[in-house]
A = this chain, B = another copy of it.
Amino acid sequence: MADDKVTRRSRGGTGRTRLAEVARLAQVSTATVSRVFNEPAKVSDSIQQRVREAAAALHWIPNAAGRALASRRSHIAGAIIPTLDNEIFARQISGMQAVFAENGFTLLLGCSNYDPAEGLNQVQAMLAQGIEVLALVGENYPPQAFDLLRQRGIPYVLTYGFRHDSPHPCIGFDNRAAFRQIADYIVSLGHKRIAAIFQPVDANDRVVARLEGLREGLAAGGVTLRATDLHIGPSSMDFGAESLRRIMASKTRPTAIICGNDNLALGAISAALDLGFDIPNDLSITGFDDLAIVSRIAPQLTTMRVDNLEIGRLAGQQLVQAAGGGVPVQSHELRADLRLRATTSPPRSAAGATAAAGDGNDADDHKPRHQQPRAGIRTQRVEHDLQEDKKQRRAP
């Protein structure tokens, strides 16, 4: 009796078939089963077959928790985005998810809703889940988040924006340069009086950079952006529309409006059309993002295209590599392409002018890299994203 004091403790398990059962059926050790699926080269063919058959027969699916615990690899990648309610972020996730899936990673997704504190929460939750790598999509995550990541040696990358002087690896485009390009283009068309409608700048480096680029380009063209011509507010179509109404109600109307993104631009366009303005003859408008819709409505919006799918893919690739080989994540700068469409043209005053040459402004220096606008731009056959239609999209 005395030696029988070992009470058998059972906690019942999960009920799922375990690796041990596969091993028993295949008449091998658990180690061998594990090797078959993780280091097949180390196991003879005959035994491999036996094991695989046993696994299939038992419908065995390995338990990720056990595996993660033992191997200290979770095969989980994390991504935190401001919101899914935005085509550009959704596309990045889409690209990333594809790469992760190809490489045996599953994607843990978190949304911060533009709240840095919530972003930090998400980072913590993800660390708890044992993510191996993390993509921080969009901007503005609290510094503490990065501390946590570095402290634990988790490879991470910031996407969407790119800055040469960023302390973090980042994959995206240069906001400043992009808006500089837009400004240069508008100036080169001969516009003298220009307004802008922007999203909030507070605690948002990227938007600040956009404004910098914009001011820089305008300044180079001898144009200044007056305080009253800069409208900042929520990034909604409504705000775009409201701002436009306010702008066009002023006594000295601009001939061009540069918007911080497509949403604002769409709002501005719809309001302008409502007021009876002719776009682009009375008023040129530019956006940013090249949302799917903006090239399919009339008038097609001149905007800046960023390949968000590619950003997502690149980020995914970098992170997968970093997770595997310990290679550091490399930053990548992508081009943002100016898509000249039907909402921009020289101002009426400069109608006949060949894209505002001479005229005392020295913007010419910046023009060579842009395709010159043509008079017939409005009716030009605008490129379609053929891809979009090739992958035959089923429908909801």
The answer to whether residues A61 and B128 also contact, given A69-B69, A237-B296, A389-B239 and a CB cut-off of 8 A, is yes
Within A212-232, the residues touching B (CB, 8 Å) are none
A179 interface contact, C-beta 8 A: no
A329 to chain B, nearest CB (A): 20
User: Are B63 and A128 closer than 8 Å at their CB atoms?
Assistant: yes
A58 to chain B, nearest CB (A): 12
A129 interface contact, C-beta 8 A: yes
User: Are A98 and B110 closer than 8 Å at their CB atoms?
Assistant: no
A395 interface contact, C-beta 8 A: yes
Q: Mark A310-325, 1 if CB is under 8 A from B, else 0.
A: 0000000000000000
A32 interface contact, C-beta 8 A: no
A303 to chain B, nearest CB (A): 13
A151 to chain B, nearest CB (A): 8
Give Cα A235 to B395, complex, Å. Answer: 5
User: Are B90 and A111 closer than 8 Å at their CB atoms?
Assistant: no
A30 interface contact, C-beta 8 A: no
A83 interface contact, C-beta 8 A: yes
Could you say which of A182-190, A246-254, A265-273 contacts chain B?
Answer: A265-273
Task: List 17 contacting pairs A-B, 8 Å CB cutoff, sorted by A.
Answer: A61-B128, A63-B130, A76-B129, A84-B93, A85-B91, A90-B90, A93-B109, A106-B108, A106-B125, A107-B109, A114-B393, A138-B396, A234-B392, A238-B388, A260-B395, A266-B293, A297-B297
Nearest chain B residue, comparing its CB with the CB of A210: B395
A34 interface contact, C-beta 8 A: no
The answer to whether residues A98 and B74 also contact, given A236-B388, A270-B298, A388-B236 and a CB cut-off of 8 A, is no
Pairs A-B, 4 closest by C-beta atoms: A199-B395, A235-B395, A65-B68, A234-B392
Nearest chain B residue, comparing its CB with the CB of A235: B395
Known: A234-B393, A238-B389, A261-B395. 7 other contacts (CB 8 A): A61-B128, A84-B93, A90-B90, A97-B111, A98-B111, A101-B122, A199-B394
The answer to whether residues A396 and B261 also contact, given A66-B69, A238-B384, A298-B273 and a CB cut-off of 8 A, is yes
The residues of B that contact A297 with a CB separation of less than 8 Å are 270, 293, 297
Within A86-110, the residues touching B (CB, 8 Å) are 86-91, 93-94, 97-98, 101, 106-110
